[in-house]
Amino acid sequence: MLEVIVFLNVLALTLIISVGFLSRLLGSPFSWYDELASVCLAWLTYYGAALAAIKGAHIACPSVINMAPPSIRLPVALLGELCTIGFFVLLGITGYQVVQILEGSTMVSLTSVSLQITQSVIPIGSALFIIAQLLRLPEVIESARGAGFIDHELEEAGIPMNPAADARHPDTSSMSRQPS
């Protein structure tokens, strides 16, 4: 479902930018284009971050954590998860407060659109990110206790990774060793 939301957001943003470009090219730009494109970009950022989190593709340092033995790796990984979840709890609470403050406010160029709707992405996106982190927690614990974390950036670059981690993910181990 989150992939559909992100896809629709990318599609909407593409259409808005295309319409905005064409209207400027024709000499009569729409007044709402910039503001709406900014809102769509913010939505894409929050929902895209939640999608990245559920796939384990958000910012991390797996190579650094993998250097530590499992006895140290697990507490470090759990501390990282706790910090991330704590940040998004604070962001969600603050975002909810912002939404409450904006009651009755509307977009400048589209006065029929409430700012509460446009800014609702902050608490919603934060909640989705927290849920994603909690759903991935068993996988994080297993990786920290076991062979370590897969470094997706190294994998994409074709750089050989941790052989023990490759054994846990046989579908990706052959990809990481293929020449580019």
Contact 77, 144 (CB under 8 A): yes
Give me the pLDDT at residue 64, please.
84
pLDDT per residue of the chain (180 residues) written in tens, 0 to 9: 899 999 999 999 999 999 999 999 999 999 999 999 999 999 999 999 999 999 888 877 888 888 888 889 999 999 999 999 999 999 999 999 999 999 999 999 999 999 999 999 999 999 999 999 999 999 999 988 888 887 767 777 788 765 555 555 454 444 444 443
Q: CB burial class (10 A; 0-12, 13-18, 19+) of residue 143?
A: buried
Contact 116, 39 (CB under 8 A): no
Rounded Cα distance between 111 and 131, Å, is 33
Give me the pLDDT at residue 161, please.
65
Give me the pLDDT at residue 164, please.
52
Contact 47, 2 (CB under 8 A): yes
Give me the pLDDT at residue 173, please.
44
Amino acid (1-letter code) at residue 48: G
Give me the pLDDT at residue 174, please.
43
Rounded Cα distance between 162 and 116, Å, is 47
